Structure 1
């Protein structure tokens, strides 16, 4: 039993191959778009908010300053 109704069954072989190629390319582009979207989401998920970047920087520099100050004493 077919998963979908094959409308191209009554077409000539050249047209049928062309439609199959178009369907394959459409599927391939969808996969590539999804992969690109996931890659971008992974890159952006490290820093979801610019404010957090600033806060993390300030906290780490403050902690480093305290650590260096304690060593000097």
Structure 2
């Protein structure tokens, strides 16, 4: 780690690449979790046959996780 006199951190190329890989990995994990949550919600909704028709688009719009990620 390289620190300047004022205490700010300036990552070198290797550290930057690792941070970028970590960030991509976390985005991928969030996407997988979101997909799993949506599938679970669809399964839960399917348990109610007398409910009105609900499309996957409505489930995606109602998902709290999708609302958080759309920033």
Counterparts of 1:12-27 in structure 2 under 5 Å? Answer: 12-27=12-27
Cα separation, 2, equivalents of 1:46 and 1:33: 20
Cα separation, 2, equivalents of 1:19 and 1:36: 26
The size of the alignment, in residue pairs, is: 43
Which structure has the larger Rg? Answer: 1
> Which residue does the alignment assign to 1:34?
34
Cα separation, 2, equivalents of 1:11 and 1:37: 36
Q: TM-score, normalised by structure 1?
A: 0.50
Counterparts of 1:44-55 in structure 2 under 5 Å? Answer: 44-48=44-48
Question: Which sections of structure 2, spanning at least 5 residues, go unmatched?
Answer: 1-8, 51-71
Question: Which sections of structure 1, spanning at least 5 residues, go unmatched?
Answer: 1-7, 53-73
Higher helix proportion (structure 1 or 2):
1
Cα separation, 2, equivalents of 1:32 and 1:47: 23
Please identify runs of 4+ aligned residues in structure 1 that moved more than 2 A: none
